[in-house]
């Protein structure tokens, strides 16, 4: 039986890669969603997050605060690259046979996912506060308003996805199990976990059991002739 703290290392390389199972796995779906959300955030800021009012100088739509736009672009690009990295790690994780390397991978995922959740929470609060402080006079013809709202909305969605990834990584790190962790395959139950027959089964003239640990201390060999003998009949009076 595979030990609880092996992170599935005993199954390394035993299952072939299945693209359908991989991309339909809940963890992969969450990573793809996080990847899309981060791309939307920094794309909205880069494309429509800056305006110019009567000059060539570009101003951030979030209360003319350049730090707000820079912060949104930074965490968007960081999580965009991080999602790609962990997707690649998910593919190669089943081939890692070292328990220590698997533990480091799980710990890395836990730290990065937790850090990303914190950054997205800070970014959501910061951008929402700056957008609330922005006056309509600073945005003629409501330039960049849709991009600003989309940025704030997808920052909130990113908090949820990365928080779920953090909780999943934490649970896997504490239990040391590999099910539903990085890999797309489900580990087969160990052979010893099969339910054993509670009573012996007669096979010919020898009593056998399905589990050798539940076998009787002495094997009894029965005589087939004794099995066919009838009970003695009482004499008639």
- Where do the structural domains in the chain lie, given as residue ranges? 19-177
pTM (2 d.p.): 0.68
**Can you tell me the distance from the alpha carbon of 168 to that of 207, in angstroms, rounded to the nearest whole number?**
48
Q: Are the C-beta atoms of 190 and 138 separated by less than 8 Å?
A: no
The tens digit of pLDDT for each residue in 177-218 reads 555 444 444 444 444 544 444 444 455 544 444 454 454 544
**Can you tell me the distance from the alpha carbon of 52 to that of 139, in angstroms, rounded to the nearest whole number?**
10
Which CATH number does 19-177 carry? 1.20.140
pLDDT exceeds cutoff 70 at 151 = yes
Residue 110 confidence (pLDDT): 95
Query: Per mean pLDDT, which range of 15-19, 174-178, 188-192 is the poorest?
Result: 188-192
Residue 187 confidence (pLDDT): 40
**Can you tell me the distance from the alpha carbon of 39 to that of 154, in angstroms, rounded to the nearest whole number?**
10
The tens digit of pLDDT for each residue in 56-105 reads 788 889 988 999 999 999 999 999 999 999 999 988 888 888 888 889 99
Residue 137 confidence (pLDDT): 74
How buried is 114 (Cβ within 10 angstroms: 0-12 exposed, 13-18 middle, 19+ buried)?
middle
Q: Are the C-beta atoms of 51 and 144 separated by less than 8 Å?
A: yes
CB atoms under 10 Å from CB of 44, counted, come to 24
Long-range pairs, 123-129, Cβ under 8 A, ≥24: 123/71, 123/72, 123/75, 123/155, 124/152, 124/155, 124/156, 124/159, 126/68, 126/71, 127/62, 127/68, 127/71, 127/72, 127/151, 127/152, 127/155, 128/152
Number of helical H runs and strand E runs in the chain: 6, 4
């Amino acid at each position: 039986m595979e030990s609880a703290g092996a992170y599935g290392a005993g199954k390394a390389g035993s299952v072939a890669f299945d693209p359908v199972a991989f991309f339909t796995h809940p963890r992969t779906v969450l990573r793809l969603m996080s990847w899309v959300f981060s791309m939307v955030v920094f794309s909205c800021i880069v494309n429509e997050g800056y305006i110019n009012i009567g000059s060539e100088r570009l101003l951030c739509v979030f209360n003319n605060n350049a730090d707000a736009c820079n912060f949104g672009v930074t965490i968007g690009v960081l999580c965009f690259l991080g999602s790609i990295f962990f997707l690649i790690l998910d593919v190669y994780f089943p081939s890692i046979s070292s328990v220590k390397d698997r533990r480091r991978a799980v710990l890395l995922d836990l730290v990065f996912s937790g850090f990303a959740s914190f950054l997205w929470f800070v970014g959501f609060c910061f951008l929402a506060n700056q957008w609330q402080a922005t006056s309509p006079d600073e945005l003629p013809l409501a330039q960049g308003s849709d991009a600003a709202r989309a940025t704030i909305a997808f920052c909130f969605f990113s908090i949820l996805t990365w928080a779920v990834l953090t909780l999943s990584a934490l649970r896997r790190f504490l239990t040391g199990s590999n099910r539903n962790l990085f890999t797309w395959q489900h580990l087969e139950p160990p052979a010893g976990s099969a339910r054993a027959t509670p009573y012996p089964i007669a096979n010919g003239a020898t009593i056998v059991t399905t589990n050798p640990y539940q076998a009787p201390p002495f094997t009894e060999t029965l005589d087939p002739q004794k099995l066919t003998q009838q009970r003695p009949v009482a004499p008639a009076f």
